Amino acid sequence: MTADPSLLSLATALPPYRLAQEEVALTARAVFAETGSEIERLLPVYANSGIECRYSCVPRDWYHRPASWKTRNRLYIENALDLIEKAARDGLAQAGLPAEAVDTLVTVSTTGIATPSLDARLMERLPFRRDLQRLPVFGLGCAGGVLGLARAAALSRAAPGSLVLVLVVELCGLTFRAQDMGRSNIIATALFGDGAAAALITCDKSAEGPRLSGWGEHTWPGSLDVMGWRIEDDGFGVLFSRDIPAILRAEFGAAVDAFLGSQGLTRKDLAGTVCHPGGAKVIETLEQVLGYAPGAMTDARAVLRDYGNMSAASVLFVLDRVLRGRPRGRYLMTALGPGFTAAFLLLEAGGR
């Protein structure tokens, strides 16, 4: 029987500019006040977000200036490449492996467009083999971290002994559009940050590390307008519904139970969860639905506090925190993304 894929290493990377939430709120107030938006009414969102700071690939004064889609995407490619290069180097160093050992590269990102793709461009910076197989993935949004691991695990299981490198990078700040006075855009400025992560996966019985034992997803019908992008003349316009917590309260638990049931499990078989911290209200709702006490999801809350919502990269930052605590048992990773989709992955750490 083929072994479950193993997680050999996990590395994270951040851009250089640290943005304190208080400073972001002042910037947003100054920028949006000029447009006659409802910023005064929405200012409490910044203080109530559960976020203390975030990181950005551009300095704070960049957000005061208009930027074309061409400019935004150029910044995306430049900075995304820098971040995934750092994350990849750190992940390979953790595992004690050279870039030449990588057989497959899965690159996940939804906050910019690159053709040639980021993975092809990275091959000009790192000495990957020229027969490297590449899978660039766009459009998964915040679910991309979990689903990126899932796709990599499936590829690894299909070719036992191969080494798969997963790279996730999101530069959410570059999507900021000062002339968009919509509620979703203003709230996005209170939540989103930039970050990247790298994970090495192999399907080898002798490999050490947490095992990825199962994965799946659930996409709700008629939910295309819950989360995603609108394509505007100057870039991506953020789209997310205020109904997300209500959807989770009504339907997320059943989706979790259905996935676990497909794996022959129930919630009682879990030692814990690793959840994408979409926002303070989302975390509160997940705690309620999953049966936790208020405030119990400490790792998700800590990542939100220290980095904001980095879209697909966030859940890998949460996983990094969980693994540093040397956990034992079976954990459910989960994230939500456009579709509207719940992504699931089972991770078994340190034996059961």
Tell which wins on pLDDT, 268 or 187. 268
Closest CA to 107 of 151, 55, 58, 161: 151
pLDDT at 197 over 80: yes
pLDDT at 334 over 90: yes
**The listed CATH number (3.30.230.70, 3.40.47.10, 3.40.50.300, 3.40.1800.10) that belongs to domain 6-202:** 3.40.47.10
CB 164 within 8 A of CB 132: no
Query: How many other C-beta atoms are found inside a 10 Å radius of the C-beta of residue 166?
Result: 32
Phi, psi (deg, nearest 5) at residue 275: -110, 140
| Active-site hit among 53, 57, 142, 172 | 142
Amino acid occupying residue 316: L
Model confidence band, residue 232 (pLDDT cutoffs 50, 70, 90): confident
Range in 25-29, 184-188, 295-299 with the lowest mean pLDDT = 184-188
- The reported pLDDT for the residue numbered 35 is 59
Cα(7)–Cα(29) distance, integer angstroms: 43
Phi, psi (deg, nearest 5) at residue 282: -65, -45
The residues that bridge with 349 in the sheet, in sequence order, are 329
Cα(121)–Cα(124) distance, integer angstroms: 6
Average pLDDT of 186-212? 90
**Tens of pLDDT along 50-85?**
999 999 999 988 988 888 999 999 999 999 999 999
Contacts of 222 (CB under 8 A, 6+ apart): none
pLDDT at 37 over 70: no
CB 202 within 8 A of CB 343: no
pLDDT at 273 over 80: yes
Cα(81)–Cα(123) distance, integer angstroms: 10
Cα(97)–Cα(175) distance, integer angstroms: 35
Q: Where in the chain is the domain with CATH 3.40.47.10?
A: 6-202, 211-349
Average pLDDT, the chain: 92
- The reported pLDDT for the residue numbered 335 is 97
- The reported pLDDT for the residue numbered 36 is 57
CATH number belonging to domain 211-349: 3.40.47.10
Whether 142 is catalytic is yes
Closest CA to 326 of 212, 214, 211, 210: 210
Cα(209)–Cα(278) distance, integer angstroms: 27
Closest CA to 191 of 260, 240, 148, 255: 240
pLDDT at 243 over 90: no
DSSP string, 109-121: --S---SS-HHHH
Range in 130-144, 242-256, 315-329 with the lowest mean pLDDT = 242-256
- Distances, alpha carbon 61 to alpha carbons 28, 32, 283, 307, 326, in Å: 11, 14, 31, 19, 41
Average pLDDT of 284-309? 95
Average pLDDT of 153-180? 92
Range in 152-156, 185-189, 295-299 with the lowest mean pLDDT = 185-189
Range in 89-103, 113-127, 223-237, 324-338 with the lowest mean pLDDT = 223-237
- The reported pLDDT for the residue numbered 242 is 79
What percent of the chain clears pLDDT 90, i.e. is strictly above it?
70
- The reported pLDDT for the residue numbered 352 is 42
